[in-house]
Amino acid sequence: MAAALSGRRPAYRKFRNMQEKIVDLYHLLWQHFGPQGWWPGETPLEVAVGAILTQNTNWQNVALAIDRLKKAGVLSAAALMALPAAELAALIRPAGYYNIKAGRLKNFITYLMEKYQGSMAKLAAAPLARLRPELLAIKGIGPETADSILLYALDKPIFVVDAYTHRIFSRHGLTAGPYSYEGLQALCQAALPPDLALWQEFHALLVRTGKDCCRPRPRCESCPLAGFSPPLISSSAVGKKLAAQLI
C-alpha cells in the first residue's frame, strides 16, 4: 500500500495457480475490510425480498422500501400474497421500477405459497439442485437474484457473481476476456472450499471493493489489491457495459 501511495510500482505477488490467486485475493480483502455481515435482514423472507428489490438500485433505496413494508405489516408471505399489486408497488416505490418489482415479488411469493406453503423453512429444506432451476423459472428472477436468495436467505453454498466480480477479476488478470455468469461462478467455486460463510463473506467483500475502490473510474491508490497484480483497466465494449451497470 505504501509503495502504491508513494508512486513506486508495488512488488506484485506471484502465484503458482489460479486457486492460490483467488484465495489470496479473498484474504487481502478480508484483512483490509474485515467481516461485512452481509446480507442485512431479520428473516429469510426479508432477505429474499431484498434480493429482488435490489435489482438496478442501491441498498439505501431497498432499505427504505423494506421499512415501508414492515410498517405496513405486510412483510410475510401470506400478507404479500393478499396485497393488491398496486398497493405493493406503492409501498416499494423507493426501490425504483416499483411496478415491475411488485410483479416479480408477486411471482416469487406465488411460487413460495403454491410449492412450499409460504414457508421459507420448507423452501430451505429442499436441495440446491432442485431449488436453483425452480427459482430461475420464476419470471423476473435471473441468476444473480436466484443465487443471492440461495446463498443468503436459504444458506445454500453457491457463489454469487455480479458486475463487481467481473470488473475486479478482469482488471486483476484472473479472467481473460468476457466470462459468462456460469463460467466465472464455476471458476470461483472450483478455487474455494464449499464453505457457506466463506462464500457469503467473499461476495460481500467483492461488493465492498467494487463500491469503494474498483469503480468505473478506479481508485487504485486506496485499493487493498494495489500490490496483488497489475490492474488492467479495460476500455472494451464488455468493460464499458459492466461499468455502466454500476455508475
Taking the C-alpha atoms of residue 12 and residue 17, their distance in angstroms, rounded to an integer, is 15
CATH architecture for the domain at 44-153: Orthogonal Bundle (1.10)
Rounded to an integer, what distance in angstroms lies between the CA atom of residue 118 and that of residue 59? 25
pTM of the predicted model as reported, rounded to 2 decimal places: 0.85
Q: Work out the number of other CB atoms within 10 angstroms of the CB of residue 66.
A: 24
What pLDDT score does 240 carry? 40
Please give the pLDDT value at position 15.
56
Torsion of CA 141, 168, 151, 42, to 10 degrees: -90
One digit per residue, pLDDT tens: the chain, 247 residues? 323 323 333 445 555 678 888 999 999 999 999 999 889 999 999 999 999 999 999 999 999 999 999 999 999 999 999 999 999 999 999 999 999 999 999 999 999 999 999 999 999 999 999 999 999 999 999 999 999 999 999 999 999 999 999 999 988 888 877 789 999 999 999 999 889 999 999 999 999 999 999 999 999 889 999 877 755 544 334 334 433 433 3
Architecture of the structural domain at 2-34+159-244: Orthogonal Bundle (1.10)
Report pLDDT for 236. 39
Q: From the CB of residue 112, how many other CB atoms can be counted at a distance below 10 Å?
A: 21
Helix (H, G, I), strand (E, B) or coil at 33: helix
Q: What is the pLDDT of residue 16?
A: 62
Give the start-end residues of each E strand in the chain: none
Question: Domain-by-domain residue ranges, the chain?
Answer: 2-34+159-244, 44-153
